[in-house]
Amino acid sequence: MIDIHCHLLPGLDDGPKDLEDSLSMARIAVADGIQVIVATPHTLNGVYLNHREVILGRTRVLREALAEQNIPLILYPGADVHFNADLIRRLEAEEVLPINGGKYVLLELPNQSVPLTAKEVFFGLRVKGYFPIITHLERNLVIQRELDIVGDWVQHGAVIQITANSLTGGFGGKAYDCACRLLERGWVDIIATDAHSAKWRPPVLSKGLQSASEIISPAEVLKMVTTYPKSILRNEPLPEKDFSEFFSKPAKKKFFSRFF
């Protein structure tokens, strides 16, 4: 399995404090069947500002430690980028690190709101050849109430990631319900751990996958932690999805009235 959203690098954010904590998380991940992790420290969130070179350097250090400890985990660099209206300029200036230096960018919205410029920024990223991966939407208070907002984003190329722990109730009933509805509508592309520690938010995918497999096809769930993240790491486009059946339903007239 591949986990594309994990706060594994030591001492950069609210994830592991030191190298030993990172190694403890790595061991848990491997035991759960995770073979590849994209290390994604926070940046641009008003608290942490982790530049590209800092992340790359810390990734090299952790790779060396994993090898020394014989922990069979492949590590790629990335960042958990907080939504920023100036994001495109920062990407082009190489201030912000996409996943493995490619065209996919983990993009974190505020937990309690959806920025008015969100659609504009997502569209601008696609025009420039980037793919926004919008993280843990199920935990956003606005999305929990107005799920149809997401439909417009996915139709225009946004990639949606939900958190494995949300599917087991770890972030509460509303996040669980929202994650289930996103899965049911076929809008989810990636399930990731968004792990921060070995104890209170460990890098475990298996329990969330089991829960997701009770909602949609287990084969499709498996692709969310294997096929699709592998394409992201290779900088390849994900398969296009057909949403015509869902959006042709009469109830969606209200949805389109929001945007036209």
Complete DSSP assignment for 125-164: HHHTT-EEEE--GGG-HHHHH-THHHHHHHHTT-EEEEEG
Q: What is the pLDDT of residue 28?
A: 98
pLDDT at 175 over 60: yes
Q: Which two tokens stand for residue 200?
A: 């209170």
**Three-class SS state of 260:** coil
* Cβ count near 99 (within 10 Å): 23
* pLDDT tens string 196-206: 999 999 999 99
**Measured distance between the N- and C-terminal CA atoms of the chain, rounded to whole angstroms:** 41
More confident residue, 159 or 247: 159
What sign results for the dihedral spanned by CA atoms 39, 190, 192, 204? negative
Kindly state the helix (H) or strand (E) to which residue 26 belongs, with its residue range.
helix 19-31
Number of domains in the chain: 1
Give the Å distances, CA to CA, from 162 to 68, 101, 205.
Answer: 32, 22, 11
Closest CA to 83 of 34, 42, 36: 42
How many other CB atoms are there within 10 angstroms of residue 103's CB atom? 18
Per-residue pLDDT at 143: 97
pLDDT band for position 256 (cuts 50, 70, 90): very low
User: pLDDT digits over 19-46, tens only?
Assistant: 999 999 999 999 999 999 999 999 998 7
* Domain region containing 141: 2-257
**What does the pLDDT look like over 78-107, one tens digit per residue?**
999 999 888 999 999 999 999 999 999 999
Count of beta carbons in the 10 Å neighbourhood of residue 173 = 8
d(CA 8, CA 23): 9
Mean pLDDT for the chain overall: 91
As a whole number of angstroms, the distance between CA 241 and CA 187 comes to 9
What pTM value is reported for the model? 0.91
Question: At 242, is the pLDDT very low, low, confident or very high (cuts 50, 70, 90)?
Answer: low
The predicted pLDDT at position 85 comes to 85
Q: What pLDDT, on the 0 to 100 scale, is given for residue 244? A: 58
134-157 pLDDT, tens per residue? 999 999 999 999 999 999 899 888
- 211: three-class secondary structure by DSSP: helix
**Residue 239: per-residue pLDDT:** 87
- Range with lowest mean pLDDT among 136-140, 154-158, 164-168, 244-248: 244-248
Long-range pairs of 54-62 with CB within 8 A, sequence gap ≥ 24: 54/12, 55/9, 55/12, 55/79, 55/97, 56/97, 58/9, 58/10, 58/11, 58/12, 59/9, 61/19, 62/8, 62/9, 62/10, 62/19, 62/22
Tell me the CATH number at 79.
Answer: 3.20.20.140
Compute CA distances 119 → 122, 158, 209, whole Å.
5, 10, 29
pLDDT at 8 exceeding the cut of 70: yes
